[in-house]
Structure 1
Amino acid sequence: MITLNILNMKNFLQTVNECDGSVDLLFPDGAKADMRIPGIQEELLQQHRENKNYLQLSLSVTNPKDYMRIVSYYAGDC
């Protein structure tokens, strides 16, 4: 599990869409949602806008290469 503070949601979602394995959004109640589902992405974009271009997300990333891809994106976006 990794928790990120997302400032550029559009580019973050593009990075997620480039991943080979699953990238799941984790909810406080323990539920998971696939980050690649367009409806989930639209909801996140809306929440991001409503929260003044900031959103904290907890993710589960199964593929180590995908994990590094997301961390590398995040390190360059901060």
Structure 2
Amino acid sequence: MFRFNILDMSAFLKAVNECSGTVNMIQENGYKRNINKEWGVQSTLKESFRENHNSLNLTLSIPDSKDYLRIVNCLIS
């Protein structure tokens, strides 16, 4: 489980949607919610991103190491 600060939502969601496995967002109540190719959830994330002045903190759990590296590379680029 890792905490990320998203500054480029488009690039982040592109990387998420390229993942082969689940990309779980940890919600405030502790529940996991897959955001990979979940367009409704992604729409909500985009809205939260705009409301937070183009920044969003997310806690993610990414079981597949290749998917994890894909997302980390996207976020540090």
Q: Which interval holds the TM-score relative to the shorter structure?
A: over 0.9
Query: 1:74: how far off?
Result: 1.1
The Cα offsets for residues 26-76 of structure 1, whole Å up to 9 and x where unpaired, read as 012111111121110000000000110000000010100001111111111
Aligned length: 76
Structure 1: any 5+ residue segments left out of the alignment?
none
Q: What is the percent sequence identity of the aligned residues?
A: 42
State how far apart, in whole Å, the 2-side matches of 1:75 and 1:10 are: 14
State how far apart, in whole Å, the 2-side matches of 1:41 and 1:34 are: 10
SS at match of 2:60: strand
Structure 2: any 5+ residue segments left out of the alignment?
none
Alignment of 1:16-35 (within 5 A): 16-35=16-35
SS at match of 2:42: helix
- Give the structure-2-normalised TM-score: 0.94
State how far apart, in whole Å, the 2-side matches of 1:51 and 1:39 are: 19
- Give the structure-1-normalised TM-score: 0.93
